[in-house]
Amino acid sequence: MVGTKHVVHASDHHSGMLGKETMEVIPCEICHQTFTDGKHETALLVECLKEPKNNTAVGKEAEVYLKKIIKLKHFKKNGYVGVSLLDRFSKK
């Protein structure tokens, strides 16, 4: 899992770009292994600007969009194994 140490390292050494360079230096926040050990996978994080709800036009639109993303050749080329939605709408 990417954590605050990754963000700080990327900010200090890579102009804030969180990329492979940081992943190779800073270990996983959970298992403390490097990300180059082959045990970690990468998912694409997508933030929705509208609240997706099941059985609504927005929810169906988001589902169609995500399925299109997964089919893009760049998706697998960049090593993504899945998609995760950033939930900015849930009440905490």
Mean pLDDT of the residues in the chain: 81
Report which of 33, 12, 15, 34 is spatially closest to residue 24, judged by C-alpha positions.
34
DSSP H or E run through 42:
strand 42-47
pLDDT at 47: 78
pLDDT band at 12 (very low <50, low <70, confident <90, very high): very high
Query: Model's pTM, two decimal places?
Result: 0.53
More confident residue, 91 or 72: 72
**Torsion sign (Cα): 12, 32, 80, 20:** positive
What is the model's pLDDT at position 54? 64
Summarised one tens digit per residue, pLDDT across range 43-76 is: 888 777 766 666 666 677 777 888 888 888 888 8
Task: List the Cα angle 82/58/73 in 5-degree steps.
Answer: 30
